[in-house]
Amino acid sequence: MTDTFRITLGQLNPIVGDLPGNAAMAREAWAKAREAGANLLALTEMFITGYQTQDLVLKPGFTQEAMAHIVDLARDCVDGPAIGIGGPYAEEDRLYNAYWILKGGRVVARVLKHELPHKQLFDEWRLFNVGPISGPYSLDGLRIGSPICEDAWWPEVCETLAETGAEILLVPNGSPYHRGKLDLRMGHMVARVVETGLPLIYLNSVGGQDDQIYDGGSFVLNPGEDGGVVKVMQLAPFDEMLAHVDFTRTSAGWRAVPGRMDHQPDEWEQDYRAMTLGLRDYMRKSGFRKAVLGLSGGIDSALVATIASDAIGPENVRCVMLPSEYTSQASLDDAADCAGRLGTRLDTVHIEGARDAVGDALAHLMAGTQPDATEENIQSRLRGVMLMALSNKFGELLLTTGNKSEVAVGYATIYGDMAGGYNPIKDLYKTRVFETCRWRNRNHRDWMLGRAGEVIPPQIISKPPSAELRPNQKDQDSLPPYEVLDAILEGLVEKDLALKDLVAQGFEPETVKKVETLLYGSEWKRYQAAPGPRISTKAFWLDRRYPLVNRWRDRL
């Protein structure tokens, strides 16, 4: 009976839909695992298809081809370690999220996901059938239990695996990043180790896929002698890698040998890395090599230009200044200063002529009216037209530059500054935009392709934000101060607080009501004035955005 077992962990970056490419990546990892003398190469959840597949996995032809690639992988990878790989499994009219175990040229086991996530980013109830709780599989004398991602966030699956003879737990994941996610995962996985008394491997995907970022950060836990838990391996977040973990049989059972303990950056660096990797992978996986954006001299576009430079290199970023007579000389100077510090190209396209032409074309219809947001939005939309023209002509991805605060309350122009294919800062409130710029000016990392140093001019960070669509315009003419707006938005959006909760925190009732109305629209204001019971702002918004889903939910 063997007393040692080596697992090669594949913290890798598959591409959704690229079945041949993902299979080739698995073969390459298997060859390296064989060189390292591994017993098992472990890959992540739905690796062969990439994750998340969304409706792609519902196409029978795609699913059958994915399964065929796994069978071919088993046939080709015979003389070496076993492979654990995530992929779909279709049986008659049922479809499962499965973990396939390959050894000796064939499929020797399949684990079917039991706990299907169905909230926030996930809707696996719609895609997959609930699988039965599987028992452990045996490889070279070691019995391994593989709860798939969500299966390990709840006690039932892991407890059943322990009761049916599992000696270690290997958890393949496709777990997206959010701030503080490692601590959240660690809490759940520590609980599973305490409950089962088994060592646990948490193996996570890495890379960007559309609007989701997978941060890796895989780790290994051992049960402690005193009933506690000991972390014996921690992989770096956001980096692709193969890492080996060795297990030995002890008098207390199998235990992982302590291995690499990579540094875990703080939340500011992880957020910035997530934005950079998300943009880089979105472009790479969509076939774009260059990006274009409007550089206004303001802080949002300066940060987006910096992220793009760090993601794909400043030589691949085109910045465009699109001034009108309302654009201050300071903004022109700041945009030029920022592009120079970053090393990006900067072009200038004046919009006055185009704006005057649109005004002349509409003059007979708008005669007798006073200038208002209509004329302001024409300027923003003309900028969108010109940027999209450059994007189309030169094959450059147009980046949008709106932060979460402004987009949430509608302080943005549809078909104008909201035009574009990808927004790296869509999840940053304005106050975090300021601090992120300060962080980047102080820090540079090897994974950044842009220049080191103070690449965002300090005057861009310190000056009052302005859309510059009319004389002497400032954001705070229309919005509460950003530190107030962001705190209220965080309460309403992230924490689902009610008006009374925010007022109790010291915010003015009228300010909270104004932000609520901006966030949820005039229908919310009418609802608040109507008689009857109340629901939370988030429930109200969800009910109107997803009426059919909520009616279905109410029938359960």
**Predicted pLDDT at 490:** 95
What secondary structure does DSSP assign to 504-542, as a single string? HTT--HHHHHHHHHHHH-HHHHHHHHSSS----HHHHHH
Model confidence band, residue 478 (pLDDT cutoffs 50, 70, 90): confident
8 Å CB contact between 230 and 246: no
Is residue 198 predicted with pLDDT exceeding 90?
yes
Lowest mean pLDDT among 152-166, 230-244, 486-500, 523-537: 523-537
Is residue 555 predicted with pLDDT exceeding 70?
no
Runs of H (alpha helix) within 287-371: 299-312, 329-342, 352-366
Residues 6+ apart with CB under 8 A from 325: 352
Is residue 550 predicted with pLDDT exceeding 50?
no
State the average pLDDT over residues 432-459. Answer: 98
pTM for this model (two decimals)? 0.90
β 219-223/229-234 pair status: antiparallel
Model confidence band, residue 326 (pLDDT cutoffs 50, 70, 90): confident
Where is pLDDT greater, at 326 or 162?
162
Is residue 43 predicted with pLDDT exceeding 90?
yes
253-256, strands of its sheet edge to edge = 106-112, 94-103, 82-91, 40-42, 4-11, 241-250, 253-256
Is residue 468 predicted with pLDDT exceeding 70?
no
Mean confidence (pLDDT) of the chain? 91
**Predicted pLDDT at 521:** 73
**Predicted pLDDT at 551:** 29
Model confidence band, residue 205 (pLDDT cutoffs 50, 70, 90): very high
Collapsing DSSP to helix, strand or coil, 423 comes out as coil
Is residue 148 predicted with pLDDT exceeding 90?
yes
**Predicted pLDDT at 118:** 87
Is residue 473 predicted with pLDDT exceeding 90?
no
Give the integer Cα–Cα distance in Å for 258 and 382: 59
Most confident of 224-233, 426-435, 530-539: 426-435
Chain centre distance of CA 258: 30
Model confidence band, residue 433 (pLDDT cutoffs 50, 70, 90): very high
Give the integer Cα–Cα distance in Å for 409 and 466: 16
CB atoms closer than 10 angstroms to residue 19: 19
Is residue 532 predicted with pLDDT exceeding 90?
no
State the average pLDDT over residues 206-215. Answer: 94
CB atoms closer than 10 angstroms to residue 266: 8
**Predicted pLDDT at 194:** 97
**Predicted pLDDT at 470:** 62
**What digits encode the pLDDT tens for the residues 378-388?**
999 999 999 99
Q: Which two tokens stand for residue 216?
A: 């890796």
Is residue 282 predicted with pLDDT exceeding 90?
yes
Lowest mean pLDDT among 250-264, 269-283, 473-487: 473-487
**Predicted pLDDT at 376:** 87
State the average pLDDT over residues 135-152. Answer: 97
β 142-145/168-173 pair status: parallel
Is residue 396 predicted with pLDDT exceeding 70?
yes
Enumerate the active-site residues. Answer: 45, 113, 149
Give the integer Cα–Cα distance in Å for 202 and 357: 60
8 Å CB contact between 332 and 323: yes
Give the integer Cα–Cα distance in Å for 508 and 501: 11
